[in-house]
Structures are given as structure tokens and as C-alpha cells.
Amino acid sequence: MPTNISLKELIAKFRRLGYSGPFSGGRHQFMIKGRQKIRIPNPHGSKEIDVSLVKEIIRQARISNKEWDEA
């Protein structure tokens, strides 16, 4: 089950799930897996990314809670 997470740990989890990056984009960095591209939030001084945003990112990436927890 997703929880609040640091930017560093978010990137590490997506790498374990097969994504490459992060790459610089317009306003946000992004990571890529095949043809799928996900935007990485910039927490702007806060130490962690809120659980609601983490849930939205993994929903858009079509990652199950089980896959997320095992990564």
C-alpha cells in the first residue's frame, strides 16, 4: 500500500519496476518504460511526496498495489 515517500525512494522504486530516468522535461522530470512516460513531482522543499499524489502516479502508471509494495 502506498505511503508518503521521499523523491529519492520514489525514483528508486520506479527503477526497480523497470523505468529509466529521470530525464529533464518542461516543468517536471519524467521516467520512461517502453512507450509509457510518467511525470515525477518536484516536492519544492517538502521532504516527502504525499500519499494521495503517490497513489495517483501509480494509478496512471497502471501499477498494482502489490507490484508497488514488492518493488
- Is 57 a domain residue? yes
| Band (13; pLDDT cuts 50, 70, 90) | very high
- Is 2 a domain residue? no
**Distance in angstroms (rounded) separating the CA atoms of residues 41 and 23:** 12
3-state secondary structure of 29: strand
**Distance in angstroms (rounded) separating the CA atoms of residues 6 and 49:** 6
The count of domains in the chain is: 1
- Is 1 a domain residue? no
Give the pLDDT confidence of 31-67 residue by residue, as tens digits: 999 999 999 988 777 688 888 999 999 999 999 989 9
- Is 55 a domain residue? yes
- Is 19 a domain residue? yes
**Distance in angstroms (rounded) separating the CA atoms of residues 70 and 34:** 21
CATH number assigned to the domain comprising residue 60: 3.30.920.30
**Distance in angstroms (rounded) separating the CA atoms of residues 20 and 43:** 20
Residue 64 belongs to what domain range?
Answer: 7-70
**Distance in angstroms (rounded) separating the CA atoms of residues 15 and 68:** 11
- Is 44 a domain residue? yes
